[in-house]
Structure 1
Amino acid sequence: MKFNPKSKTSTIFLLIGSFAVVSLILWNTNSFFKTFKEEERLKMEIWATAQSEFLQSSENVELGNLHLRVFQNNTSTPMILINKDSSIRVNNIPKEKVTDSVYIQKKLKQFQSENTPISIDQQGEHLATLYYGNSDVLNKLKYYPIALLLIIFLFGTVIYFLFKTNKSSEQNKLWAGMAKETAHQIGTPLSSLLGWNELLKTEHINPDITKEIEKDIDRLQTITERFSKIGSLPKLDKLDIVDETEKAYAYLKKRSSKLIHFSFVSKIESVPVLLNSSLYNWTIENLVKNGIDAMRGKGSIAIEIVPDGKFVNILIADTGSGIPKSSYTTIFNPGVTTKKRGWGLGLSLVKRIVEEYHNGKIKVLSSGKEGTIMQISLKVAV
């Protein structure tokens, strides 16, 4: 599949454009925050000037005085005024906290960290020091860029998963198309093989040879059927899981190395399960072959069928080198393989057959130096 250069270019431009827009918003927000903070500073300086005038004026000041109006109009910025006689005046701070010295000291430190205190002087004489903090509006505005970044991050995550899902869907369609085409291409030589085998029977060749050829032809037909079913919903029949597993196992046993010891145990005589025989046999074949590869052609393969309430578990154990614990889940992802050669599609197909087509579960039950145990869980048919 060729990559479209135009698609790549448009994606790059989209990413650059998105980054530029986000940077512009953050810069604008930061500028607005600084401007707002400067305006609050200016307001506090005006308040300090009014306070200086007030302290220098006569004690009998009318309520309509401009200085008092300035004081009364400040309803948002918290402040603490410490006069030269160490008396304290607070504004926009809870009344119940005014007499709490520990709280006041804590607020003084907080205000100092947020804004530089303003010294109130008149004619060279120090009258008071004004400590003020950020208003509620400014505090909320301070967290706005963080909220904006979080929203952008969530939006980007959604876009990423949409692209990923779309790409995965396209890949699935591609693999399904390739599988169906492979099945179609195999059909022609299979027909010829059937004809040649019938011709061999007329040549008085050992019947055991032609029987084995027939078995392999049947196997090729089964493989063709498997590939043709990829991408479409298979038909499920009520079949005996013990019988189906044993048949698939027996075929592999006969065609595997004599250095491999095979064993089959079932703790129940028969269990009806909704199965597609061809795809289930493919699953067993993949898992057994993976075990053989892990043992490098020498060791033991064991299958055990165990009832588990409304489910039946099929355990496939080998004595191979094992799977790292960190790969227990990723091993089923397309393209992931522990082999030096291979496309990493076998276990991915197995997972899809078990979980999507048969509504079952498959997992690495355990793995270590002594080997690996894979577990398939299927629901018992009523």
Structure 2
Amino acid sequence: MDIYKRKSRWKLYLGVAGALIVAISMVYTSYLTGKLAEEERSKVALYVEAQERFNNQLEMEAIQENGCPEPDFTLHLLILQSNNTIPVIAVNEQGRVDFTVNVRDTSQAYLLAELAQMDEEGFQPIQSSNHRIYYKESTLLQQLRYFPFVQLFLIAAFVAFGYLGFSSTRRAEQNRVWVGMAKETAHQLGTPISAIVAWIEHLKLIRDEDEEVQEVVTELRNDVSRLELIADRFSKIGSAPKLDPINVFEELEQCRAYMQRRASRKVAFQFPDPGSPPQTIHINSHLFDWVVENLLRNALDAMDGQGEISAEVYDDNDFVYIDITDTGKGIPDNRFKTVFQPGFTTKKRGWGLGLSLAKRIIEEYHNGKIFVKRSEEGVGTTFTIQLPKL
């Protein structure tokens, strides 16, 4: 299993764990709100009972007629005065509001609208002898009901900010590693390349009459020039390269010629005519060629030595587009973005850095984009390079 499959699985596991935590929190909060709602209904029922007894003049008169002392309503008053959080609306038998408690707006229009809404929601009022008692949830209970969503938002915000912070730090570390590796590679290549150049010149001088040796020397010098180009490419990683106006058709032709000499004869290259009307783009030719060669090399690997590689150039008002298409194995839909991540490879050998470098070169140094335009397994793949017109 490759690193990106493991990464996807860990994301899934963490997502499931997070969803489970939120679900447990919501269920438990719902349980608490249910208990609190029952408690509030009991309090309102007790409030109604206290109100009825306090207002029951017949009971008081009967007690006084029997010569009993005046009843003590201290507890009733305490119960009535203790409700300072639950909004209560008392409706008489004629359907009009007689009194309210803890209601911010006591106008009949507002109260009737509130009662209509509560009836529509299926609220069951508490019945007393002469009134129907409607009540709304206290502010505390409402806050508790919304608490899981607030908690979910805060957790999501914390995770998002943490992820962005760690991702930014990781990208910065990766960039430093990329730049360090690239420049160190260029530095390490420089010394042996200089020594090889000196030996080639020495061999050329001591065997200047031997045509076979001179031919070998020429090929060696070509290969050393290639090594010098590679070292130059690595040295440019991490620093802003100079961009020059280049005819894209001529640049693509150079890449095609170089790669076709190293490809199987069963692979056909269909590239635009270098003599086409010039289409100028601002690029660093060394780095741009590196990107194209990486795409062509991957295409050759995907076709197992036979097939067709084609290139197409087109533009619109703002951008120039370069499509490079092969008839290889193709890429699954869910891998379109993964292929540009460092370490991704489907080959048995290789580091999986080619497309990651290509993305960095196009996006960071040329202000463009590179992406998989389309791909179908067993049919082929098209990569698109998008560069701005300057």
**Does residue 135 in structure 1 map to residue 138 in structure 2?**
yes
Structure 1 match to 2:18: none
- Contact 1:110 / 1:133 at 8 angstroms: preserved in 2? no
C-alpha separation between the residues in 2 aligned to 1:341 and 1:254?
Answer: 22
- Contact 1:280 / 1:353 at 8 angstroms: preserved in 2? yes
**Does residue 51 in structure 1 map to residue 64 in structure 2?**
no
Structure 1 match to 2:153: 150
Structure 2 match to 1:378: 387
- Contact 2:331 / 2:381 at 8 angstroms: preserved in 1? yes
- Contact 2:249 / 2:272 at 8 angstroms: preserved in 1? no
Letter in 2 for 1:372: T
**Does residue 193 in structure 1 map to residue 174 in structure 2?**
no
Deviation at 1:353, TM superposition (A): 0.7
C-alpha separation between the residues in 2 aligned to 1:268 and 1:324?
Answer: 35
Letter in 1 for 2:163: Y
Structure 2 match to 1:5: none
C-alpha separation between the residues in 1 aligned to 2:113 and 2:250?
Answer: 85
Distance 1:88 1:185, change over 3 A: same
C-alpha separation between the residues in 2 aligned to 1:294 and 1:140?
Answer: 59
Higher mean alpha-carbon deviation, 29-38 vs 139-148, is at: 29-38
RMSD: 4.0
C-alpha separation between the residues in 1 aligned to 2:328 and 2:87?
Answer: 71
Deviation at 1:249, TM superposition (A): 1.8
- Contact 1:111 / 1:133 at 8 angstroms: preserved in 2? no
Give unmatched runs, 5+ long, in structure 2: 1-21, 62-72
- Contact 1:80 / 1:88 at 8 angstroms: preserved in 2? no
Deviation at 1:365, TM superposition (A): 1.8
Letter in 1 for 2:194: S
TM-score (norm 1): 0.74
**Does residue 77 in structure 1 map to residue 86 in structure 2?**
yes
C-alpha separation between the residues in 1 aligned to 2:190 and 2:386?
Answer: 33
Can you list the C-alpha shifts for 1:145-185, whole angstroms capped at 9, x where unaligned?
A: 43143123202310221012102211221121112111111
C-alpha separation between the residues in 1 aligned to 2:201 and 2:291?
Answer: 31
Deviation at 1:289, TM superposition (A): 0.3
- Contact 1:244 / 1:281 at 8 angstroms: preserved in 2? yes
- Contact 1:98 / 1:104 at 8 angstroms: preserved in 2? no
C-alpha separation between the residues in 1 aligned to 2:37 and 2:143?
Answer: 12
**Does residue 243 in structure 1 map to residue 250 in structure 2?**
yes
Residue number among 278, 284, 291 corresponding to 2:292 in the alignment? 284
Structure 2 match to 1:4: none
C-alpha separation between the residues in 1 aligned to 2:47 and 2:306?
Answer: 89
Deviation at 1:52, TM superposition (A): 2.3
Structure 2 match to 1:324: 332
Higher mean alpha-carbon deviation, 173-182 vs 30-39, is at: 30-39
Letter in 1 for 2:224: I
Distance 1:150 1:270, change over 3 A: same
C-alpha separation between the residues in 1 aligned to 2:192 and 2:373?
Answer: 41
Percent sequence identity is 40
C-alpha separation between the residues in 2 aligned to 1:173 and 1:346?
Answer: 18
Structure 2 match to 1:180: 183
SS, match of residue 321 in structure 1: coil
- Contact 2:321 / 2:387 at 8 angstroms: preserved in 1? yes
C-alpha separation between the residues in 1 aligned to 2:311 and 2:222?
Answer: 23
C-alpha separation between the residues in 2 aligned to 1:360 and 1:331?
Answer: 18
C-alpha separation between the residues in 1 aligned to 2:118 and 2:96?
Answer: 10
Distance 1:87 1:376, change over 3 A: closer
C-alpha separation between the residues in 2 aligned to 1:268 and 1:259?
Answer: 26
C-alpha separation between the residues in 1 aligned to 2:363 and 2:83?
Answer: 66
Structure 2 match to 1:256: 263
Structure 2 match to 1:308: 316
Give unmatched runs, 5+ long, in structure 1: 1-21, 121-125
- Contact 2:362 / 2:370 at 8 angstroms: preserved in 1? yes
Letter in 1 for 2:385: I
C-alpha separation between the residues in 1 aligned to 2:123 and 2:53?
Answer: 27
Structure 2 match to 1:3: none
Distance 1:95 1:75, change over 3 A: farther
Higher mean alpha-carbon deviation, 98-107 vs 146-155, is at: 98-107
Letter in 2 for 1:255: R
Structure 2 match to 1:221: 228
SS, match of residue 378 in structure 1: strand
C-alpha separation between the residues in 1 aligned to 2:321 and 2:253?
Answer: 14
- Contact 1:77 / 1:132 at 8 angstroms: preserved in 2? yes
Deviation at 1:360, TM superposition (A): 1.4
Structure 1 match to 2:108: 95
Can you list the C-alpha shifts for 1:108-135, whole angstroms capped at 9, x where unaligned?
A: x4458xxxx6x76xxxxx8877554312
SS, match of residue 272 in structure 2: strand
Residue number among 218, 231, 235 corresponding to 2:238 in the alignment? 231
C-alpha separation between the residues in 1 aligned to 2:389 and 2:150?
Answer: 50
SS, match of residue 268 in structure 2: strand
SS, match of residue 334 in structure 1: coil
- Contact 1:271 / 1:380 at 8 angstroms: preserved in 2? no
Deviation at 1:33, TM superposition (A): 7.4
Letter in 1 for 2:246: L
